[in-house]
Amino acid sequence: MTISQVCSRYGLTPDTLRYYEKIGVIPEVHRTASGIRDYDEAAIGWVENAVCMRSAGVPVESIIEYVRLYQAGDTTLQARRDLLKDVHTSLLKQRQQMDAAIDRLSFKISRYDAALKTGVLSWEEEDGQ
Amino acid sequence: MTISQVCSRYGLTPDTLRYYEKIGVIPEVHRTASGIRDYDEAAIGWVENAVCMRSAGVPVESIIEYVRLYQAGDTTLQARRDLLKDVHTSLLKQRQQMDAAIDRLSFKISRYDAALKTGVLSWEEEDGQ
DNA sequence: TCTTGACTTGGAGTGAACTCCATGCTGTAT
DNA sequence: ATACAGCATGGAGTTCACTCCAAGTCAAGA
């Protein structure tokens, strides 16, 4: 699979995918005799992993560290687990903060909807905003 | 309330809080005669709003736009509602992506835990990683 | 053979969100 | 009166994660 095929599959640009490989977010991709990248199933699995983690806001450095540990072999199982756990924990925390913001927004939106329907701003003496 | 008091309450630095005011993430804060910021309840409400939104990853530009609309007065009620709805929608989408990553991590962690307990890497012919 | 489009590299540039710094003013304790 | 911690400003610097670009190579079709 060529770089552009992988890109259109995951909504990335070739620049991004090369960048990911260069900095180690994904392992080095196999090349044809003339030096062109040819993504196999394993490579695509790594791309999928990168896309999933990045879209959730996981820093590239964490992904790089995991790839590094993975490539270092079986002696890093515990370290890999610990790293994944750390990332997991910080995502859970991040989600809590998102939930708080979502709740805040839901509340405000319903207040605006009420105001727009009745034509009355019903929260004058509250927190403003 | 002084800037450092507000900062320690919300885990910000004075630089950040001045920056927020400068770019409009919060409205201008009242000053003492000698020019020192004095945060009242309303100002603190805006800071709280900013912290909540930013910790969820809402771009400063969205917050600025909301503050701008708010300060423009009652004619912007509909625009404010629409903006909040857009932000709400994008946070929901972002949360979905976080959930996907959290699930992926949970799965991997339990696999690592099993491997570390039994001493066997039980997913050899799978997707690797 | 020539063109064209997709691929390669290294390195510079971008945008977002802070973060730091130099320089100077303020206000309270000794 | 003076020291000194805290506040002010404008502007430069940093970090992160891409994103763009120039210059060149490669492969397939006219």
Give the CA angle between residues B117, B119, B123 to the nearest 5°: 100
**Angstrom distance (rounded) from CA A67 to CA A61:** 10
Please list, in sequence order, all residues whose beta carbon lies within 8 angstroms of the beta carbon of residue B35, skipping any fewer than 6 positions away. none
CA of B1 to C1' of D1 (A): 30
pLDDT, residue A123, reads: 72
Alpha carbon of A95: minimum distance to chain B alpha carbons (Å): 7
pLDDT at site B125 = 58
| Residue B108 pLDDT class (50, 70, 90 cuts) | very high
pLDDT of residue B119: 82
Q: What are the pLDDT digits (tens) for B1-16? A: 999 999 999 999 999 9
Two tokens at A90? Answer: 């910080």
Q: Residue B124: which pLDDT band, with cuts at 50, 70 and 90?
A: low
Predicted local distance difference test score (pLDDT) of residue A104: 98
What pLDDT, on the 0 to 100 scale, is given for residue A129?
Answer: 82
CA distance B33 to chain A (A): 25
Strand C contact with A81 (CB < 7 A): no
Report the nucleotide nearest the CA of residue A15, measured to C1'. Answer: D19
Q: What's the CA gap between A121 and B61, in Å, rounded?
A: 25
Cβ atoms < 10 Å from Cβ of B52: 18
Tens digit of each residue's pLDDT (9 = 90 or more) over B24-80: 999 999 999 999 999 999 999 999 999 999 999 999 999 999 999 999 999 999 999
Nearest to B98 among A94, A101, A112 (CB): A94
B108:A84 CB<8 A: yes
- Tens digits of residue pLDDT in B81-105: 999 999 999 999 999 999 999 999 9
Q: Which residues of A62-75 are buried (b: 16+ CB within 10 A; e: fewer)?
A: bbbbbbebeeeeee
Res A124: pLDDT = 61
CA atoms in the 13 A half-sphere facing the CB of B22 = 6
- Chain B residues touching residue A49 (CB < 8 angstroms): 104, 129
A63-90 pLDDT, tens digit per residue, is 999 999 999 999 999 999 999 999 999 9
Structural domains of chain B in order of their starting residue, each with its CATH number: 3-118 (1.10.1660.10)
Residues of chain A with pLDDT under 50: none
Helix axes B60-72, B77-118, angle to 10 degrees: 160
Tell me the whole-structure pTM to 2 decimals: 0.94
Q: Which of A78, A98, A112 sits opposite B81 (nearest CB)?
A: A112
3-class DSSP state of A7: helix
